[in-house]
Amino acid sequence: MAKPRVLVTRRWPAAVEAQLQDQYDVVLNTHDKPLTPCEFRAALTVYDAVLPTVTDLINADAMDVPKAQTKIFANYGVGYSHIDATAAKGLDIMVTNTPDVLSECTADLAMTLMLMVARRAGDGEREIREGKWTGWRPTHLVGTKVSGKTLGIIGYGRIGQEVARRAHHGFGMKIIVQSRSAVNPDVLAQCSATQVDTIEDLLPLCDFVSLHCPGGATNRHLINAARLNLMKPDAFLINTARGEVINEHDLARALWFDTIGGAALDVFDGEPNISPDLMGCDNLVMLPHLGSATHTTREAMGFRVVENLADFFGGRAPRDRVI
């Protein structure tokens, strides 16, 4: 019996690629460049499974084919707003993702961003590399204390809860959360967290705000000028969720005019292209989408895809089906 034909759209950890090649008729994107809509349309007529990542834009144009050979997008990543759900359903293509395995490392990075922007670590590192450091002095690069402050978490799923654990138990922070649905009181109690009804209720209360909500059309520009104006003037905004959640023009203006204390971003709207508005902001830390970027996590994500494929081609329901 012929092995299912599988396309991997970007380079993955070597151990994962080797297992995929052992089990399937695999084609790797050795150039490691994003596929064009035309290339996606061609792939849908040839491969039984396509394995995309969160940087692949699989919109209606990319799926504009009369009939698809592809029956599953086994996505490498938790977010799947880059895949047009309506178009996928119209072609009878299942979509899976890779939850759980990246929660801890993404939470670690959220804390890294929080500390970097509050303690001006990026400023200090650049100063040393540029040969501008003149020595210790009492007023040099004075930042903001993190321990004991109030952290607001928007989106209290797996990653949001991991951030709360680190912040509360490690830094003694008070936790306030806002989520789409009521959080189990036992879950809130683990970090002595308080849930509020709306984002408008949360923002004025917090010294730091960390975003962990889904992306997509529903949450596009969830954080805009009106909501930024509700934050404390010395508060910091952290985003490791999806870039489209923030209106980046509004954020840049808030940073330019000191409406808020600063921001730290790991994701961007339209990445890898960064808005010129953001590039001119001094009180902003930026990282190139490193949330899950550890050897352990990236391999675990890949093997989670392998599990989903095995279930699908074995006639079982993949546990991570989202569409």
**Rounded distance, CA 285 to CA 183, Å?**
31
8 has which bridge partners? Answer: 28, 51
Question: Is 10 in the active site?
Answer: no
One-letter identity of residue 112: T
Query: Is the distance from CB of 68 to CB of 89 less than 8 angstroms?
Result: no
One-letter identity of residue 286: M
Question: Is 295 in the active site?
Answer: no
Contacts of residue 321, defined as CB under 8 A and 6 or more positions apart, other chains included, come to 94, 95, 96, 308
Q: What is the secondary structure of 99-150 as a DSSP string?
A: -STTHHHHHHHHHHHHHHHHHTHHHHHHHHHTT------TTTT-----TT-E
Catalytic residue of the set 127, 271, 299, 307 = 271
DSSP 222: -
**Rounded distance, CA 282 to CA 202, Å?**
26
76 has which bridge partners? Answer: 53
Catalytic residue of the set 10, 227, 242, 304 = 242
Give, for 211, the enclosing helix (H) or strand (E): strand 208-211
Q: Residue 12's closest CA among 270, 293, 230?
A: 293
Q: Residue 62's closest CA among 79, 84, 32, 46?
A: 84
Catalytic residue of the set 41, 221, 249, 289 = 289
Question: Is 271 in the active site?
Answer: yes
**Rounded distance, CA 192 to CA 66, Å?**
53
Annotated catalytic sites, by residue? 242, 271, 289
